[in-house]
Chain A
Amino acid sequence: MSSSPAARSKAGAASRSTAGVVTWLDERLGIGALTKKQLRKVFPDHWSFMLGEIALWSFVILLLTGTFLSFWFKPSMAEVEYMGSYANLRGLHMSEAYASTLDLSFDVRGGLLMRQMHHWSANLFLASMTIHMLRVFFTGAFRKPRELNWMIGLALLMLGIIEGFAGYSLPDDLLSGTGLRIAQGLMLSIPVVGSYISFFVFGGEFPGDDFIPRLYTVHVLLVPGILLALITAHMLLLVYHKHTQFPGPGRTNNNVVGFPLMPVYMAKAGGFFFIVFGVTALMGGLLQINPIWMYGPYNPAEVTAGSQPDWYMGWLEGGLRIMPNWETNLWGYTLSWNVLIPGVLLLGVLFALLAFYPFIERWITGDDREHHLLERPRNAPTRTAFGVAGMTAYALLWIAGGNDILAYEFGLSLNAITYVMRVAIFVVPVLAFIITRRWCLSLQRHDREVVLHGYETGVIVRSPDGSYAEIHRPINPVRAYELTMHEQHTPVELPAAHDANGVPAPAQGKERLRSRLSHFWYADDVSKPTKEELEAAAHHATNGSHALEDGHGPASGNGAHLGIETSGIVGGQDFGLEQKPKAP
């Protein structure tokens, strides 16, 4: 069909007319020269490099659906009588914000779909930012020169959380009011200034009439504006730094191996937008989210079982739920540790730790070089272990945040979950750290084993004297290269206590701490096979067959021993079959 001359000339005409438009624009705007370099920008291919893209496209969807919602939503606390389509609430008095959200859901064509897409998209936005951050963390992509971009990303995550919270607080339904009450509680718990902050933010007593309109401005103008600016900065820095890549043949710290933005990544990224949009639309259409008509209008006298924030605030909720009820009374003022510690300090500690992590690691390891090659998590065991410990703590707080749902669904005691979590939050992350670190080191050992002795073929050979051995075959050179090209880290050594003239070196304390931490960080790393070891292994592999033919292997059939001894003995498929068993 495409070979018919008519079709060909038609396609030619189309491409000529497209070219004409582009040329016309280029002659007037000069974009060709401007974008020529950027359009040839190379990106490496890996699925995990596309996680941040989910967040980007979710943000676009949020802007589109949010604009739609803003056409009908009325951010007002004025009391109205609801007379819309939803019979169960008709005739009740409620705020205009809640009534307009009901109208959006039931009386605006496509309104409920847009509302649900907006909400699902927000959930996906934050979830994809989170997994993107985890990818960056576990592969070491935050290292120099990308520390600032890491911090920008963190700011995006933090603002995203605030934006999400503001979003689900706007409809003024029962759940959003309950959430706002908790937020006000956090404000009040701040010593000395807490009550002033609360009165300032809410324009008087909670809940008041001012807050929803104020929150609306924050939600549709302030935070999205900052998000947009930071996303731009994030991506400009990405272009400036160039994308990191996993090590492999031909990939060095000084190049980027991949395909150009135009046309390959334009197509891939453009296509991915439609996939993200499609999944979001599917969820918005099929899965109910935030059914505000079920919650009812906010009334401070009401609360519902299953009052939880959206998932990204769930860990803070968990902290609040498992915190013992500690309070101190000082000169007639109450210090609410029970809210201050899990609500305010926990949030601050997590984000401070995350923000400064690149600098902490850099100081400990003394590594001041630029890194454009990613590390496999196993090759940075201590970092990976810290990451997993952090994820574990986060997950435990999540579980604690849903303790009533868990108790109900699994027939557990609410109190038991709380008590277990109070201990687990201190113990389990430490266990996770130890296990992960050992696990990584074992994987390193395994890599070394595979490089030196080849992979296990699953073929078992019985030697003439009756012992068994598994045949190992050498791995292919590309794989071997990938497994051996990571850096061999060395701990920072303590500078000599005395210089050549016997003068004691000044200020040893900090250096000693650093050296000790650095040893903790790296000292257990399994060393990569050296050239000599590789050659010895290769030599051994070619000569190994003698061991079997001579019958010198242990007669008892020590498979583990033999497995290494005879690794890769037989090159062809005719292994061992032609050997005649020796008479006993």
Chain B
Amino acid sequence: MVRKLSTRRRHPLAGFVVLLFALVVAGGLYSAFRPAVADESGKSDAQLIAEGRQLYEVGCASCHGLNAEGIITKRGKNLGPPLIGVGAAAVDFQVSTGRMPMARPDTQAPEKPRTYDEGEVARLAAYIASLGPGPAIPDPEYYDVSEATDEEIARGGEFFRTNCTACHNFAGVGGALPEGRYAPSLHGVEPIHIYEAMLTGPQQMPVFSDEVLTPKQKRGVIAYIKTLEDQTAYGGLELGSRGPVGEGLWGWTFGIGALVLAAVWIANNGVRAERKKP
């Protein structure tokens, strides 16, 4: 063993192996000994709200106003809407998916890597929730779809097609809305965020309150979206799941392209083939 190692110590890859080993050890030691994450549960609500307010004043107030009352520009445009009464669910959705804070004023806030960690989101949510009553962050029982029955999924699909496909597309891959806005793809979105989006209606999206879609129906919709994500592509390549436009593109490029090439090949070969003389 030792002999084996010593003979290979000058192998060109030996340096990399040692480096890798050192990195793994250092990382392992760090994760074993790093200080535990601050425990949120010990803090009182008032404390969370106060900390949330501090975070808010730094990251959000420039658009939403110092007291979350919203800012109207001189031209009457809405720089940032009032946040009083939007509830913790709205904050959790917007900040956890990285939509807020926005990188710049735009027609729509795109999803992006999140700026605040979970604890900070909880503080912000607590602060906003303290300003006025609004939907709270849902408990897992509302969006946990791991045990959804086939029937629930089929019903959810029915609700999905009635309420969601008009903007998000039949496969949930998203679609365009007027003036450069869009309904984003639903693939890879956390169930809790889908639930919160239905509950709070972020950006262009309408609110699907519990009177319109009961929590059970919402869970069915989420379950259906999740099956769409995992579903086998029965027909082969899905070509973007954008309907006949993608199909036409492939028919014209791949199909007609291949057949025209075949026609050229057939016409240039056979009895009449004239090989170019060198």
Contacts and interface: CB of A to CB of B under 8 A. Distances in A.
A290 B245 CA distance: 11
Contacts of A290: 244, 247
A305 B183 contact: yes
B271 A408 contact: no
Interface string B141-155: 000000000110110
A258 to B, nearest CB: 8
B116 to A, nearest CB: 26
A427 interface: no
B154 A272 contact: no
B235 A291 contact: yes
A259 B170 contact: no
B241 interface: yes
Interface stretch (A4-12, A122-130, A211-219, A503-511): A122-130
Contact of B248 (A49, A90, A306, A311): A311
A106 B232 CA distance: 12
B235 A310 contact: no
A295 B236 contact: no
Given A123-B251, A288-B235, A305-B167, A294 B241 contact: yes
B266 A88 contact: no
Interface residues of B, number: 61
B208 interface: no
B20 to A, nearest CB: 40
A272 B262 contact: yes
B150 A412 contact: no
Nearest to A175: B243
Interface stretch (B2-10, B58-66, B92-100, B156-164): B156-164
Nearest to A93: B158
Interface stretch (A279-287, A347-355, A456-464): A279-287
Contacts of A411: 180
Contacts of A314: 244-245, 248
Give the most central of B162, B231, B241, B262: most A CB within 10 Å: B262
Contact of B255 (A47, A50, A124, A301): A124
B233 interface: yes
B256 A302 contact: no
A526 B115 CA distance: 68
B245 A402 contact: yes
B166 interface: yes
A283 B227 contact: no
A276 B259 CA distance: 7
B242 interface: yes
Given A288-B238, A314-B248, A124 B256 contact: yes
Give the interface size class of chain A: 35 or more
Contacts of A302: 161-162, 165-166
Contacts of B254: 283, 287
A496 to B, nearest CB: 50
B176 A408 contact: yes
Contacts of A267: 270
Contact of B259 (A124, A286, A303): A124
A280 B267 CA distance: 20
B271 A259 contact: yes
Contact of B150 (A90, A291, A299): A90
A37 interface: no
A268 B266 contact: yes
Contact of A92 (B154, B227, B228, B242): B154
B23 interface: no
B161 A88 contact: no
For the complex of A and B, 8 pairs with smallest distance between CB atoms: A305-B175, A311-B248, A288-B235, A407-B176, A413-B180, A304-B165, A123-B251, A306-B243
Given A123-B255, A308-B243, A405-B243, 16 more contacts: A47-B263, A87-B153, A88-B157, A88-B224, A90-B150, A90-B151, A272-B266, A289-B235, A291-B238, A310-B247, A311-B251, A402-B245, A408-B175, A413-B178, A413-B179, A414-B177
